[in-house]
Amino acid sequence: MVQERSMMDDVWRRFRKNKGAVIGLTFIVLVILVAILAPVLSPHDPLKQDILSRLEPPSSEYLLGTDELGRDVLSRLLYGARLSLAVGMSALGLGVVVGVTLGLISGYRGGTIDNVIMRIMDILMAFPGVLLAILIVALLGSGITNLVLAIGFWLVPVFARLVRGTVLALREREFIQAATAMGARDGRILIRHVLINSLSPIIVYATLSIPSAILSAAALSFLGIGLRPTDPEWGAMVSAGRPYLREAPHLVLVPGFAIFLTSLSFNFVGDALRDALDPKLKA
């Protein structure tokens, strides 16, 4: 326990040195706070339309202007933090849980099970991602859950392969062999030893996958797939605002930069985490 604590300290110390990452982390915390406090911070109801005052430029009443249905862009932006983070994180959660489980089993068991799981992952990888998302949404309808499912499925093979690779490398290591020799059960070995030891690549990759999940959600909204039109998700806001780019550029720029800054922050944090967690870089 003491040793783990000092390792975490070590990682934090190295992470802290990276200024970009610290700024990124601060921004992420800010976005999370905004997401939690959206109802308190929002000056207006994000769904309340007023078609008589649509496409208004920023003013003291509407700090970031109004959108194509006269809704307050600032309020939608704040609520959008909720949806965008929720989409990113849940899709990631799905990808990690399913992918890591499959990867662990596949790598640890080997043989036929490994072969079957990996071929299924190959199929998922070879299947065009857009198509997969469209089919899921076509089958299950629009809405945040189905969007998360669609993007989560993209991530499953990525994590499965990543974890399998790590497990394969670990399997031959002494401490696992020792645990097996001592008669520990598979499940226990998998969780106590294998999973703990492959955590750092998972964490790094997970951090880097959040922005790609958010960007995928945006791309799907562009193609008209996924959320309901009223949902103030950032990607959906960008694509709904794009037809008005000439007369109301703020409709695209505001959520567009929100996506950009959030993704950038996660990428900075992810990169710094990788450096900080990499034992080879310790020296």
Contacts with another protein by CB under 8 A lie at 20, 48-49, 51-52, 54, 68-69, 119-120, 122-123, 125-131, 134-135, 137-139, 141-142, 211-212, 215, 218-219, 222-225, 228-230, 235, 238-240, 242-247, 252, 256, 259-261, 263-264, 267-268, 271, 274, 280-281
CB of 178 to another protein, least distance (A): 28
- C-beta of 34 vs 259, nearer to another protein: 259
Q: What are phi and psi of 58, to 5 degrees?
A: -50, 140
- What's the min distance (Å) between Cβ of 37 and another protein? 23
Q: Residue 5 or 246: which CB sits closer to another protein? A: 246
Q: In 112-198, where do the E strands start and end?
A: none
Q: Per DSSP, what are the bridge partners of residue 66? A: 72
Closest CB 59 distance from another protein, rounded Å: 18
Question: Min. distance of Cβ 156 from another protein in angstroms?
Answer: 14
Contact partners, residue 126, CB within 8 Å, separation at least 6: none
C-beta closer to another protein: residue 136 or 190: 136
Question: 3-class SS at 72?
Answer: strand
User: Could you tell me the smallest distance in angstroms from the CB atom of residue 139 to another protein?
Assistant: 6
In the complex with another protein, the residue whose CB is nearer, 157 or 193, is 157
127 or 192: CB nearest another protein: 127
Tell how far CA 23 is from the center of its chain.
Answer: 19
Give the nearest distance from C-beta 7 to another protein in angstroms: 21
Angstrom distance (rounded) from CA 86 to CA 90: 6
- Minimal distance, residue 145 CB to another protein, in Å: 14
Distance CA 58, CA 83 (A): 23
Q: Which of 65, 69, 45, 67 is nearest to 57 (CA)?
A: 65
Residues in contact with 27: Cβ distance below 8 Å, sequence separation at least 6, in sequence order: 261, 262, 265
CB 212 within 8 A of CB 206: no
Residues 137, 226: contact at Cβ < 8 Å?
Answer: yes
Select 34 or 238, whichever has its Cβ closest to another protein. Answer: 238
For another protein, the closer of residues 27 and 170 by Cβ is 27
Q: Are 60 and 27 in contact (CB under 8 A)?
A: no
Single-letter residue type at 211: P
